[in-house]
């Protein structure tokens, strides 16, 4: 299933052969509850959401790509146009900015500030940074894991902002300032949903409610 979901990651022009199934499993085993919380449908939906978001972050797809635009997740290891060197996007979640490298490094007991290239040279570290981000709340944001597994209850402020349980809130957590609350779905947000729906279909699970974030206020917005 991993191979069929990410079948183009090692194609010419992609660097994603770096992302191995064994590295994913080794990394996932270090995070209690990841992909193992709730009933079978909840677990499948969380994995579809995780791979949906990280596939968007690493996409090599385009509108007329072979297999469709959502068959090209995990093509990229490093950000194509580095935004904050040396702390530019690396790995499945495209970890960016010194503060995220510092927080992830502290959590994983690794010196990622001193050696950010660990995230793009060791596939286990790469997956660990992505799963760490997924599992870790950063107030006032809940964790993506809690959102997708029923562990998050929206506050009154969340409800007023349209932030209700579902995949859309994970987009808001990751990049809400650019992609959410605009009244219509941005191309990036549509891409995230496209990947998610493809993986839900492959894993045989429903999409759940509130997939889009177009009517959600961003956190801090």
Q: Which of 26, 46, 57, 98 is catalytic?
A: 57
CA atoms of 71 and 4, how far apart (whole Å): 9
DSSP string, 164-182: -SSHHHHHHHHHHHHHSSS
- Catalytic residue flag (residue 98): no
> Residue 155: which of 168, 174, 142 has the closest Cα?
142
CA atoms of 151 and 38, how far apart (whole Å): 10
3-class state of residue 53 by DSSP = helix
> Residue 91: which of 142, 23, 179, 176 has the closest Cα?
23
CA atoms of 27 and 122, how far apart (whole Å): 11
Give me Rg for the CA atoms of the chain.
16
Residues annotated as part of the active site: 57
């Amino acid at each position: 299933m991993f191979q069929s979901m990410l079948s183009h990651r090692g194609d010419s022009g992609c660097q994603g052969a770096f992302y191995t199934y064994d590295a994913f499993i080794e990394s996932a085993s270090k995070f209690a509850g990841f992909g193992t919380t709730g009933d079978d449908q909840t677990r499948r939906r969380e994995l579809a959401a995780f791979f949906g978001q990280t596939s968007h972050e690493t996409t090599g797809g385009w509108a007329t790509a072979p297999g469709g635009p959502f068959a090209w997740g995990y093509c990229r290891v490093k950000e194509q146009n580095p935004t904050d060197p040396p702390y530019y996007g690396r790995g499945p979640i495209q970890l960016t900015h010194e503060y995220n490298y510092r927080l992830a490094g502290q959590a994983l007991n690794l010196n990622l500030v001193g050696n950010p290239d660990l995230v793009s040279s060791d596939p286990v570290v790469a997956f660990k940074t992505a799963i760490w981000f997924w599992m870790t709340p950063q107030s006032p944001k809940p964790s993506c894991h809690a959102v997708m597994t029923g562990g998050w209850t929206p506050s009154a402020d969340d409800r007023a902002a349209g932030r209700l349980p579902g995949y859309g809130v994970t987009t808001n957590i990751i990049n809400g300032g650019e992609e959410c609350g605009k009244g219509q779905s941005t191309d990036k947000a549509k891409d995230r949903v496209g990947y998610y729906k493809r993986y839900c279909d492959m894993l045989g699970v429903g999409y759940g409610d509130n997939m889009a974030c177009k009517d959600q206020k961003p956190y801090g917005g």
